[in-house]
Amino acid sequence: MVANQTSPKGKAGKELAALPEIPEKQYFSISEASLLCGVKAHVLRYWEQEFPQLSPLKRKGNRRYYQRHDLLLARQIRSLLYGEGYTIHGARERLQSLRHESGPGHSVSAAQLELEMEDNASAGFVGAANRLIYLQTELAALIKICAGKH
């Protein structure tokens, strides 16, 4: 089986429970992150080992503090694993391929994502799903523009 294919016993296509909106806060404890991402705290800790991109700040006493970009990444991992049925290895490769598809020097910072989400909210995109669809459409258009310049 190819690493990024879904497992026959996987949960591909499973309808995932809706997640709450991420509050306007800079840092989130692991228990808050757990609730906002729809997984248990030990799952988040495990994902930190398996996905190097997921690296919350660690402070005194090894306490983890997640930022908005960490939560968005954890939600994307959850979607790949539980919604689309990817294996850990396949999800890791998929995240890397998504990063490479945007090309070197074309990565979007967390601050840019925040501004984009604020703009979308003020433009009337109330639901999180609508915002994500809008962002996906905008990113696809930008990728096409960048690909046409080469």
Is 141 or 81 the better-scoring residue by pLDDT? 81
The CATH number of residue 61's host domain is 1.10.1660.10
Number of domains in the chain: 2
- The DSSP annotation for 113-150 comes to HHHHHHHHHHTT--SHHHHHHHHHHHHHHHHHHHHHT-
In a shared domain, residues 80 and 92? yes
Contacts of 27 (CB under 8 A, 6+ apart): 57, 65, 66, 67
- What tens digit of pLDDT does each residue of 10-65 get? 455 567 888 999 999 999 999 999 999 999 999 999 999 999 999 999 988 889 99
Residue 50 lies in a domain: yes
Look up residue 60 and give its DSSP letter. G
In a shared domain, residues 131 and 88? no
Q: Which domain holds residue 54?
A: 24-101
Percentage of residues of the chain with pLDDT beyond 70: 68
Residue 10 lies in a domain: no
